[in-house]
Amino acid sequence: MFEITAFDAPLGAEITNFDFSRDGHLVDEIVEAWHQHVILVFRDQPTEPRTLASIARIFGTPVRQPLQRPEYQVEGFPELRLLSSLHIDTLGDREPLRIGGSWHTDHSHFPVPPRATILQAIKIPEQGGDTCFSNQRSAYEALDEETRSRIDSLSAKHVYNSRFTPRRMPTITGDEGKKQPEALHPVARPHPDTGNRSIYLNPVRVDGIEGMDDEAAMALVNELMDHSTADEFVYRHKWRVGDVLIWDNRQALHMVHHDYAPDVERLMIRTMIEGP
């Protein structure tokens, strides 16, 4: 039987001794732990696409990956994507992309963003390459009443590539660009399962806030980001090969640390779960 052990951190728990063929039917227990801890880490899982796809189905329906380029694809699994630190911007300047290297939540420019992201470590550097997570639910709850009242009625505009993004996004074709949606989401977004609010922002995607000019909007975004990514809300995950990590995009931000040699590969397989 698997065991769930909470981290000594603002969020997260690890699941050990998990075997999908034996424990995959215990959906309610696993999902309840996920809602509580925001992040779950399944330790020592086989590094094969079928394992990741099987674990993903515990949490819902996997999303077909939106950019189906050869270097990203996992043969036979359109819901999976390779994320390699050696990937370059093939349609742009052909420089390394260093994907995920700033605080964000995945695909927030979709009207119904993926509720979860699942990542498995295939190859990791000897040092570095950690992923940090911020508990946006706790960050919201720690705001003073005046600030909560101020943001509860606000909605932010999310686009594929914000004018204010802190990092580069992959260059996309004209056809790919036409397929990229835009969306409005509450800045203090209620969780559809629990009703608890979280600060829901994404500096890579947020291009403005309804009813505010750009200067005031981005000042508020920066203020809330500084608050919600303070150490008291952050867990830093040190990967082991075989780790499968799932997090709730509605309650967490994440960021990769590219603090290792540029010629060293950090290789992950990712899938995402349909919202809400």
pLDDT for position 168: 81
Pairing of strands 39-42, 13-16: parallel
Residue 179 has pLDDT above 90, yes or no: no
Residue 162 has pLDDT above 90, yes or no: yes
What integer is the mean pLDDT of 78-82?
Answer: 92
DSSP assignment of 65-130, as one string?
PS---GGGB-TT-TT-EEEETT-B-TTTT--B--TT-SSB-TTTTSSS--SEEEEEEEE--SS---
What integer is the mean pLDDT of 165-177?
Answer: 86
**Quick one: pLDDT band at residue 98, thresholds 50, 70, 90?**
confident
Residue 65 has pLDDT above 80, yes or no: no
Residues 243 and 18: their CA atoms lie apart, in Å, by 11
Q: How many domains does the chain have?
A: 1
Residue 52 has pLDDT above 70, yes or no: yes
Task: For residue 124, give the CATH number of its domain.
Answer: 3.60.130.10
Q: Are 51 and 122 in contact (CB under 8 A)?
A: no
70-74, 75-79, 230-234: which range is least confident on average?
70-74
Enter the pTM of the model. Answer: 0.94
- State which residues form the domain around 261: 3-273
Name the nearest CA neighbour of 99 among 69, 76, 61, 78: 69
pLDDT tens for each residue of 113-153: 999 999 999 999 999 999 999 999 999 999 999 999 999 99
Residue with tokens 């590219």: 258
Report the amino acid identity of residue 264. Answer: V
Residue with tokens 């989401």: 185
pLDDT tens for each residue of 99-117: 899 999 999 999 999 999 9
DSSP assignment of 38-75, as one string?
SEEEE-S---SHHHHHHHHHHHSPBPPPS---GGGB-T
pLDDT tens for each residue of 195-240: 999 999 999 999 999 999 999 999 999 999 999 999 999 999 999 9
